Amino acid sequence: MRSWGLRFTLTAVLGAAALACFSSSASAISYAPVDIPGPPLDVSQAQLDANLTCNGTLAGSAKTPVLLVPGTTVNPRVNYSWNWEPALTALGIPWCAVELPGQAMEDIQIAGEYVAGEIRAMHARAGGKIDVVGHSQGGMVPRWALRWWPDTRAMVDDLIGFAPSNHGTIDAEALCIPDCAPAIWQQRDNSDFVKALNSGQETFHGVSYSAIYTHTDEVVFPNLNSSGSSSLHGGDGDVANVALQDVCPLDVSEHLLIGTVDPVAYALAIDAMTHPGPADPSRISAAVCSQLAMPGVNPLTLATDFTSLTVAIGSTLATFPHVPAEPKLACYVTATCPAGSSSPVKAQKPARTKKHRKCRKRARHRKRCNKKR
């Protein structure tokens, strides 16, 4: 079994905060039905084009193209350039990666628009269905697109999430006292966003859902069994909730490793991509339990690549502006948009930090402050 101190030394502290502050509202809300047309996207086509990077030829591909969606605090390069991107390329699978606004720390409702737009774009280019693969928030936010833009459901074959925050997490609610980044507010287990995400039904007909999680997840918590945060239940979708430990009982990969390095997670995802329906752990060979890392990871640069990931997470958490409350739900969520308009609310501008406000008072520091914002 693989063992290296890297698993817990750099991730235990930084990882625990990566997805951690989530939000709050106890009032009952009447949500829009699951089958009404979605609102027009507030994100321009130019923005969608600029935030999508692709590799390989999507049109006419014999293999289903994959959309990669990164997790909170990082961009696709940090999350996937040293693992999933080279792995998919080696398999001859065309892929695209979407960069979410503000390192996926801004309003997830807006991130959901990006995912919905990129699903449509890739489907049009491929001329058929695509698969969507995401880590953490990246495994959850595609469900926002499927919930509120019903046309995207027919465009997706598999949705594969590694430790997806499908029901938020309870492990770091205190980190949003008194404030935190918008996307972290929204990923609290009791946030308005999470309640809206899971309203109506959690899955939809025609989509295969593979929620791949680990019992040792210290960020999306609890995930001790199939009733935990990541798992999905109900609806018309074909669902598999699979723990790494269902395949390899001694696997200790935690939140960051499951979506970047773990070979069991990789094997389950590829199984879902290459078979009808979601991942099936009975098809995974026990030989995977002895592997150090998934294909695509360079053993010689693994330590530095993983360190770069944790440093990027820490830097984003330390510098991203906080807001005092969860962003308001878009009007389309409750079908209360003004007559003649179905546009969502604009993304809430992050509040300036105390340090930033102090710095702005000094004219000679303005240029430097603007760079740090």
Q: Which residues are marked as active site?
A: 136, 217, 255
- Measure the CA–CA gap between 339 and 21, rounded to whole angstroms: 35
Using the 8-state DSSP alphabet, how is residue 323 labeled? B
Closest CA to 329 of 229, 195, 232, 137: 195
Neighbours of 81 (CB within 10 A): 17
Order of all β-strands in the sheet with 208-213: 52-55, 95-98, 66-69, 130-135, 156-162, 208-213, 238-243
Long-range CB contacts for residues 363-370, cutoff 8 Å, separation at least 24: none
Distance from C-alpha of 317 to C-alpha of 90, rounded to nearest angstrom:
33
Rounded Cα distance between 365 and 361, Å, is 8
